[in-house]
A and B are shown apart, each in its own frame.
Chain A
């Protein structure tokens, strides 16, 4: 009986602590949403924590009416789609042959690829390469250097390995070419892993920032993260006002900053709940690799 009570106490404490953790996890989001919807005076007097005070949509009005922000969003969507598609094509093109255990030279190719997971030239040589290839300040600089992630490639190869080879063999006996076997048999069976890896590539590109900071200088090619960074840091105000001629950046009240942050977060939050299981399965695929 006492053990029973102790169990109940444990369960209750566990639920309370976890619920508190979950709320703490959400609190920062509530705070920026509250700030974005509050008046300047209320914010500065420290009245706004989790709920808006003097509710208004002024900040969002400004964000949405800022043409450069909308253009940046559009460009990021285009960039993410182009990147994800190119990455998947390249990763599949590499993964299918390398999943054939009897392919001559397979070990050498794998070696060449795996080395790059442990040693890289570094930031500056990469920058020099991108510059020498005349990719600076172009979409290519944000696509080509990241086309194949070796970790994702290995996940894909592992998945291909687990497809019963009898399926492919029977197709080959029927005279199907490798291309056709790949497209009509292997890929349809691999949809879960393809969905997962596409998501990983897409989220990586959507959230990617370092390369945009290093390679992009023209405001019309600013992806959302770089655009947001400029707004948050507030340090390039003059440049931005000169280059873009908008009144948007002149003074950056907290509510406007918050509204921009919310604006850039919403797309992720909208797709996330529907795609969560693919992300989780991706982690599992990566974990069982060893």
Chain B
């Protein structure tokens, strides 16, 4: 088929692609062009092209900033703790839901447990400040009822870590069960029947049939999570954190916002963002490599 015939037949498909491709070029590749801000003494009057090149000067400055290392440490720390606490939660929950015999109770539980996933972090931040507050919060009311003193869940950095993690579990555990429950539908029910005939108890069946059935999913999700160790959302630490606990709550994303958009140090903030993007890419590619080695499957 000659090119003209081909185009006459397919031009409509290319016409459809024009706007989407323009979108990707402008709004995805445009910012990539803007990465050069990291190497320039950027200001808005001279623009990206007019600003003066400064080489790696801004990188030197960033790598000498105490706050940079603190936010980097916090990012890794919060993600690492999340992995310990929020990663096993949906797994346990999914196994418990799978073991339920009553279908209506299972459906009802799922419906309720999914809800927090649809609540914005701003709203969650509002809820958290009320639930964990010292003056009138439900949790402290309860603790006072037991005869203990109030606990500063939001204002003491160690308690705040607990708050941050528990809120993460609350928000994500229910929704996270979906993928495990889907994997469980693939398990052959006859295995359970055979195990029952052999006299295996419920816990044994879970351990020897259910958990192995979930293993590929667990490994894949674990690798994906490890790949995202350096990337952290902005909204969760920003809305749950406060200035009193900044020593733990300040992460790379909030640092970029504060330094870049609040203080106007665009070059410095771009350097931090670029650092995060490059290291993040290395992590993801490394995770993909590990996944290929371990499970023969690419996660990309």
Q: Are B281 and A124 in contact (CB under 8 A)?
A: no
Q: Are A119 and B270 in contact (CB under 8 A)?
A: no
Task: Choose among A22, A27, A121, A226 the residue that contacts B113 (Cβ–Cβ < 8 A).
Answer: A22
B105 within 8 A of A: yes
B44 within 8 A of A: yes
**A124-B270, A257-B130, A268-B118 known; A3+B201 contact, CB < 8 A:** yes
Interface residues of chain A: helix, strand, loop or mixed (majority): helix
Task: Choose among B10, B20, B202, B203 the residue that contacts A90 (Cβ–Cβ < 8 A).
Answer: B20
Q: Which residues of B contact A232 (CB under 8 A)?
A: 122, 125-126, 129
**A132-B47, A229-B239 known; A43+B20 contact, CB < 8 A:** no
B299 within 8 A of A: yes
Query: Chain B's nearest CB lies how many Å from the CB of A190?
Result: 15
> Which partner residue on chain A sits nearest B102 by CB separation?
A15
**The 3 nearest A-B residue pairs measured at CB:** A121-B31, A125-B34, A122-B273
- What 0/1 pattern do residues 208 to 233 of A give for CB contact below 8 A with B? 11100110000000000110110010
A-B pairs with beta carbons under 8 Å apart, 25 shown: A21-B113, A22-B109, A22-B112, A31-B127, A31-B137, A32-B127, A104-B6, A119-B32, A119-B277, A119-B281, A121-B277, A123-B257, A128-B31, A129-B26, A145-B27, A148-B20, A203-B118, A209-B122, A228-B122, A232-B125, A254-B136, A258-B126, A261-B123, A280-B114, A287-B179
**A10-B202, A109-B21, A124-B273 known; A129+B27 contact, CB < 8 A:** yes
Q: Which residues of A contact B261 (CB under 8 A)?
A: 123-124, 127, 214
CA distance A32 to B33 in the complex (A): 46
B260 within 8 A of A: yes
Segment among A61-69, A77-85, A94-102 that sits at the interface with chain B: A94-102
Q: Are B44 and A257 in contact (CB under 8 A)?
A: no
A251 within 8 A of B: no
Query: Chain A's nearest CB lies how many Å from the CB of B82?
Result: 18
Q: Are A94 and B16 in contact (CB under 8 A)?
A: yes
CA distance A167 to B37 in the complex (A): 51
Q: Are A144 and B27 in contact (CB under 8 A)?
A: yes
Interface residues of chain B: helix, strand, loop or mixed (majority): helix
> Which partner residue on chain A sits nearest B256 by CB separation?
A123
CA distance A46 to B144 in the complex (A): 9
CA distance A43 to B130 in the complex (A): 11
Query: Chain B's nearest CB lies how many Å from the CB of A152?
Result: 12
Q: Which residues of B contact A173 (CB under 8 A)?
A: none
Q: Are A124 and B135 in contact (CB under 8 A)?
A: no
**A225-B122, A284-B178 known; A128+B266 contact, CB < 8 A:** yes
> Which partner residue on chain A sits nearest B34 by CB separation?
A125
- What 0/1 pattern do residues 128 to 152 of B give for CB contact below 8 A with A? 1111010111101110100000000
8 Å CB interface, A23-51 against B: 24-29, 31-32, 35, 43-44, 46-50
8 Å CB interface, B108-125 against A: 108-109, 111-116, 118-123, 125
A103 within 8 A of B: yes
Segment among B72-80, B92-100, B154-162 that sits at the interface with chain A: B92-100
